[in-house]
Amino acid sequence: MTPLDRPDTRTQPAPRPAAPAGAVQAAPAAAAPRATPTLVLTSAATAVALMTYTAPMVTLPDTAAALHTSVSAQAWLLNGTPLGLAALLLVAGSLADDYGRRRIFLAGTLALGLTTALGALAGSTWLFTLARVAQGAASAAILASSLGLIVHAFPTPRGRLRATGVWGAFVSGGIAAGPLLAGAIAGWNWRMAYAVLGAAALAVALLGTRALTESRAPRGGRPDFAGALTFGLALVSLVAALTLGRDGWLRAPVGLLLAAFLVLMAAFVAVERRSATPMIDLGLLRHRRFLASSAGGLFTGLAVIGLFSFLPALLQLTLGMSAMDTAWLFLLWSGLSFTVALQARRLAGRVPHRQQLALGFALHAAGVLTMLGAIGSGSWLRLLPGFVLSGVGSGLLNAALPLLAVESVPATRTAMGSGAQQTFRYIGSCAGVALTIALVTTTGGPAHGTNVAIVVSAVLAALGAASVLALRERA
């Protein structure tokens, strides 16, 4: 029996002898998971993690000015958190399955609170970037373990459908609330937003110590630290190459970093093949459902997150909008995403997950294409139709991706499945942000560069739709 086939080990009460008639029985040694508190806390922590991720979107001009960050280095201010997420989601998922999902979740929320507060104190670009990478690593522990806790607390298909739909909606909700909070505070001090978010994460960690029930699926062996190291270094090399490529793709440093990425990825595959407890079971790459989940996450990061991460800062620079104005406009997109993701569970049994993903990508592509020329026109009103269509599409993506992720792996490895899908999502995000900034700043001025970035985003979304449809399971 392989590690993936082992049954999920739950925390169960020990067998107890029958009590005498009329005697008052003591409470069981371990309680069953409390479904509602589990869903509330995991969703709240996920929202805080995404708020931390998206907060710099509207404060980027102020942050860059305070830290004296050059235009080419601003990608690092946005990419620090997704880099930490992408590098550690897989290992966090494996650790959660093996050593306890509650334990990893609480460690992640505590670390997020501390590292977010430290980010508020950073005095240079690199210190702030390091704090952002640490926030991403902490968020990886939260996101990878949350779905494992939810699946444990909601064992029935109907309950799981509802719970993952709510969790997916809070992904959108966190994306919506982060810029709004940062924009509201930015007029006073952009650093205060991180202090508030750090306090929120610490509060969730405190509540979680009493409300969450432990679950795990131990496989034995040691954590795959060699895999985590090679994979993390590979991602750093890739993001650095994409960021430096803005100043010339044929330069030696860019070529060396891309070569390092390929070598390190080959080393990662070799390590995973030899590991007794790999971060990711490479055999899953033969399964179309897992590949569809991974492709959906990758193209969501590339096409959707990549463009919308830099768009608020771009609107401030080109249209003279304030941080709060861009936050309200961004709320139209992310608020629709939240609402649609929350209601999308009604599509269960009517629209397959792959078709829902394809529809989400198609709506995003159509929406951003309506935004062509908006920056050059000098009017933010031209953006509204695109924000609406893309917001609906993003909601469909956020609703379908978590459910497809947990269904694409054995029940004992739900945290690993969630970590894998989100790893591809944030790899795409890192690459998408760097690509968007490069296109906007190097292709004939902000207006023309934005149009090029919009077309590229639409093409990537179309490729995402085609990939998830092509990976349907054979009859």
pLDDT in tens, 79-107: 788 888 877 877 787 788 778 889 999 99
pLDDT value, residue 426? 82
- C-alpha 426/C-alpha 319 separation (Å) is 29
Which DSSP category does 71 fall into? T
Distance, first Cα to last Cα, the chain: 27
pLDDT value, residue 94? 76
**The pTM is what?**
0.74
Residue 17 has pLDDT above 60, yes or no: no
- C-alpha 306/C-alpha 435 separation (Å) is 8
Cβ contact 299:463 at 8 Å = yes
Across the chain, mean pLDDT equals 82
What does the pLDDT look like over 276-288, one tens digit per residue? 777 777 877 788 8
Proportion of the chain above pLDDT 90, given as a percent: 27
- C-alpha 140/C-alpha 147 separation (Å) is 12
pLDDT value, residue 57? 80
What does the pLDDT look like over 325-384, one tens digit per residue? 888 888 889 889 888 888 877 776 677 888 899 999 999 999 999 999 888 887 888 899
Residue 14 has pLDDT above 60, yes or no: no
Catalogue the E-assigned strands of 296-376: none
pLDDT value, residue 280? 76
Average pLDDT over residues 266-274: 91
pLDDT value, residue 473? 63
Between 21 and 63, name the one with better pLDDT: 63
The amino acid at 429: S
What does the pLDDT look like over 35-79, one tens digit per residue? 889 999 999 999 999 999 888 888 888 888 889 888 767 777 887
